[in-house]
């Protein structure tokens, strides 16, 4: 099978760039202090990107973790290389776990978590045997390993430096009492490390995995994996206390998701060739047949991450180089397609594919109750299909007989009426949405949420979304997997991303572009123009004819004179990433 994604778990990417590429701009993250100099930027090494990943050479099951290795000139087309690191020492004999690469004095230097013969988690170092080898195939472990033995955490991130050339390193840790943490170490020589304290912590989860800290547009971003998801937060580092202080929302609040679907253990790195910060994540399987198929999880597509114009949101979109995967001869284009008001299921004629990219531009009326979308991986009769849809409601401040299930962080006491629950949300800076359950007892009936879940009809509930102004309305972009597969042990739930859109005067319609990548069992959905969300999910259609595309309208415009329109629809088959 040709695939555009990796069947492996992401560990690290670092850039090796040409000598004539521009230097990375310096980030001024605090007054008169360039605190977060990423060492990767100004290092040049023959124009190759290298990626490492957790890998079990003995089967698609957990255990005996090595570091696989591949490299690329464009982050899109990859070449396999031999295993870089194997568990062969007492300090890593039970597994080579997650780590990162930092360029130290011109040498790519890995720090990884080793699992010792006593199952302790320790931090170890490795460097290339021959830095003149552009493939960096062979690696040697430091004779000083393990370099860090406590606290008992894992997943060291790329290191950074201050103005006095001190290195700083974080990795994941946490306890039931102290909550999840990114612990901070410092070193002068990258060998002898001194533990300082937690850089940041909270109690949303008891342990953080894969923390990462980096600069984007002169701001500091901290991300970590917790609660089974990847979260981000913007903030500053106190130069005296050396602690991270979030601006507003913190890690673990669902308004701050990097991807709203199956996305975890991500890593970021600076790409100086294209002057962009790039993130890739690991998306694990969502059924029980991984060992039979021969892989367990894969990498997501590389995404450029950047800030919104107001500097308050972390955004992402697929890197431009992914367009080189398109098979131009397969390109199909449609425009100005007006959907009939009653369209439960309509095939798009002569369009097939299970390894494709779809760019669709929707036009639909504002302030309506709508539910419509595009269907992928469908059988001709639609009995097996996956819907990528858009849902909107005319009024989301109060939705009678609707639930917003999950993402609760607080049950507000002493609430008698739903209006009191709405007031409690509006007064809480963390709250994004609320649900009042009419048949629950007082003190267990008003639930505040740190994100905006997907609405579900429920006669005993009243829900609402905290409004962001008269000129904005929330939509939900979703992936409906109820009919995606027959296997009862595969995921069938609806996953979604909330999206705020601004009212315009253009024809009383909204315009929304979606960029959809379908790779057999992986679907990644983006809003590429603004980069406002990413949504990744797995589906496993058993029917061999499930490669059709279709459109549908579950709930259309109230006015018969109004329509949902596909302004443009472009579809390409995608070539393989492997060279």
What are the residue numbers of the active site? Answer: 38
Q: By C-alpha distance, which of 127, 156, 145, 137 is closest to 84?
A: 137
Adjacent-strand bridge partners of 183: 171, 198
CB-based burial, 397-432: b 16+ in 10 Å, e otherwise: eebeebbbeebbbbebeebeebeebbebbeebeebb
Task: Let me know: does 220 contact 212? Beta carbons within 8 Å.
Answer: no
Residue in 15, 38, 8 with CA at minimum distance from that of residue 25: 38
What's the 3-state SS for 108-125? Answer: EEEEEEEECCCCCEEEEE
Distance CA 42, CA 39 (A): 7
Tell which residue, 508, 517, 551, 513, has the closest CA to residue 361. Answer: 513
Cα–Cα distance, 14 to 20 (Å, whole number): 18
d(CA 366, CA 568): 19
Backbone phi, psi, residue 315, to 5°: -120, 165
Print burial letters for 103-122: b (CB count within 10 Å at least 16), e (below 16).
bbeeebbbbbbbbbeeeebb
User: 386-392 and 446-449 as β-strands: parallel, antiparallel, unpaired?
Assistant: unpaired
β-bridge partners, 513: 361
What CA–CA distances, in Å, run from 328 to 331, 354, 571?
5, 16, 10
Name the residue among 234, 280, 273, 274 with its Cα closest to residue 52. Answer: 280
Contact 60, 288 (CB under 8 A): no
- Eight-state DSSP code of residue 148: B
Burial class (CB in 10 A: 0-12, 13-18, 19+), 511: middle
Closest CA to 382 of 412, 350, 347, 349: 347
E strand map for 203-331: 209-216, 219-226, 229-237, 244-246, 264-271, 276-283, 298-299, 303-307, 314-318
Q: Give the count of beta carbons closer than 10 Å to the beta carbon of residue 64.
A: 16
**What is the H or E stretch that residue 421 is in?**
helix 418-427
Residues 87 and 24 sit within 8 Å (Cβ to Cβ): no
- Whole-angstrom Cα distance, residue 28 to residue 216? 10
Contact 166, 149 (CB under 8 A): no
Give the Cα separation of 119 and 317 in Å (integer).
39
Q: Any alpha helices (H) in 264-378, and if so which ranges?
A: 290-293
């Amino acid at each position: 099978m040709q695939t555009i994604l990796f069947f492996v778990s992401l560990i690290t990417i670092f850039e090796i760039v040409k000598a004539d590429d521009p230097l990375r701009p310096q980030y001024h993250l605090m007054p008169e202090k360039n605190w977060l100099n990423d060492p990767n930027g100004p290092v040049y090494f023959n124009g190759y990107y290298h990626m490492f990943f957790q890998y079990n050479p003995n089967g698609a099951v957990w255990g005996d973790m090595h570091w696989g290795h591949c490299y690329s000139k464009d982050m899109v087309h990859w070449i396999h290389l031999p295993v870089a690191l194997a568990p062969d020492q007492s300090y890593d004999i039970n597994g080579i776990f997650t780590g990162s690469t930092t360029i130290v004095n011109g040498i790519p230097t890995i720090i990884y978590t080793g699992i010792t013969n006593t199952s302790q988690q320790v931090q170890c170092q490795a460097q290339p045997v021959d830095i003149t080898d552009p493939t960096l195939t062979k690696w040697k472990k430091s004779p000083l390993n393990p370099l860090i033995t406590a606290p008992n955490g894992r997943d060291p991130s790329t290191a950074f430096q201050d103005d006095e050339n001190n290195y700083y390193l974080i990795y994941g840790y946490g306890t039931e009492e102290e909550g999840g943490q990114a612990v901070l170490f410092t070193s002068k020589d990258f060998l002898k490390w001194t533990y300082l304290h937690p850089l940041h912590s909270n109690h949303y989860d008891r342990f953080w995995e894969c923390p990462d800290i980096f600069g984007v547009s002169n701001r500091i971003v901290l991300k970590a994996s917790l609660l089974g998801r990847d979260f981000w937060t913007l903030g500053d580092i106190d130069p005296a206390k050396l602690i991270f202080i979030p601006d507003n929302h913190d890690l673990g609040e669902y308004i701050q998701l990097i991807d709203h679907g199956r996305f975890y253990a991500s890593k970021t790195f600076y790409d100086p060739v294209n002057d962009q910060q790039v993130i890739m994540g690991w998306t694990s399987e969502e059924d029980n047949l991984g060992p039979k198929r021969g892989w367990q999880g894969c990498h997501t597509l590389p995404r450029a991450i950047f800030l919104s114009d107001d500097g308050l949101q972390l955004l992402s979109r697929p890197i431009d180089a992914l367009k080189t995967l398109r098979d131009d001869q397969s390109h199909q284009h449609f425009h100005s397609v007006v959907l009939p008001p009653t369209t439960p299921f309509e095939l798009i004629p002569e369009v097939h594919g299970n390894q494709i990219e779809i760019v669709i531009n929707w036009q639909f009326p504002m302030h309506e109750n709508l539910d419509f979308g595009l269907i992928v991986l469908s059988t001709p009769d639609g009995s097996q299909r996956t819907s990528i849809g858009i849902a909107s409601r005319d009024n989301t401040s109060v939705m009678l007989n609707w639930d917003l299930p999950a993402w609760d962080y607080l049950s507000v006491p002493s609430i008698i009426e739903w209006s009191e629950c709405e007031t409690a949300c509006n007064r809480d800076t963390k709250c994004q949405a609320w649900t009042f359950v009419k048949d629950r007892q007082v003190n267990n009936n008003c639930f505040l949420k740190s994100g905006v879940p997907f609405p579900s009809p429920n006669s005993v509930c009243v829900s609402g979304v905290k409004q962001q102004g008269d000129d904005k309305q929330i939509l939900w972009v979703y992936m409906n997997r109820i009919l995606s597969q027959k296997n009862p042990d595969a995921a069938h739930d609806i996953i979604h991303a909330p999206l705020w859109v601004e009212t315009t005067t253009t024809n009383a319609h909204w315009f929304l572009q979606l960029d959809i990548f379908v790779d057999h069992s992986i679907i990644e959905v983006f809003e590429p123009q603004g980069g406002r969300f990413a949504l990744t999910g797995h589906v496993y259609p058993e029917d061999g004819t499930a490669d059709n595309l279709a459109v549908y309208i579950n709930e259309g415009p109230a006015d018969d004179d109004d329509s949902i329109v596909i302004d443009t629809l472009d579809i390409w088959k995608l070539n393989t990433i492997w060279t």
